[in-house]
Amino acid sequence: MKVKVNDNVLVITGKYKGKKGKVLKTDPASGRVIVEGVNLVHKHEKARKANETSRIVTEESPIDVSNVEVVCDKCGKATRVGHAFVDGKKVRVCKKCGASLDKAFAKKIKKAEETPEEAPKKRTRKRSQKAEE
């Protein structure tokens, strides 16, 4: 499953087509995800104690993972998920702009771009310094 918890996704088919939301829960075994504000259902909750009241609860129901696409933070478009290797680890990337979709790696890449790497100082041995003098 290429969708993870806390990803921003766009629903591409069904009753909620075009709606964006955050992934609250994933279930890889059944291939379903729960998206915030999508596929709302009403459930009737019975009072279990004397001081409680019965009520109708609105909550999100799972939808199939094939009905959503991840929204890239950098370009803001819904995209398919690709994979690339960064520092020896497999990272999810946007197929349209190439930006990292994994937030932990996006921070590392951003820091690496901001700080230019300096060339390492040339090391010389003490013996060779004495011989030159």
- Could you tell me the residue ranges of all domains in the chain? 1-71, 80-114
- What gap in Å lies between CA 117 and CA 108, rounded to an integer? 14
Residue 108 has a pLDDT of 64
Q: Nearest to residue 8, comparing CAs of 94, 64, 69, 61? A: 69
- Per-residue pLDDT tens over the stretch 65-92: 999 999 999 888 999 999 888 888 889 9
Cα–Cα distance for residue pair 56/21, rounded to 1 Å: 23
Q: Which residues of 90-127 are buried (b: 16+ CB within 10 A; e: fewer)?
A: ebbbbeeeeebbbeebbeebeeeeeeeeeeeeeeeeee
Give the pTM: 0.71
Annotation: CATH topology of 1-71: SH3 type barrels. (2.30.30)
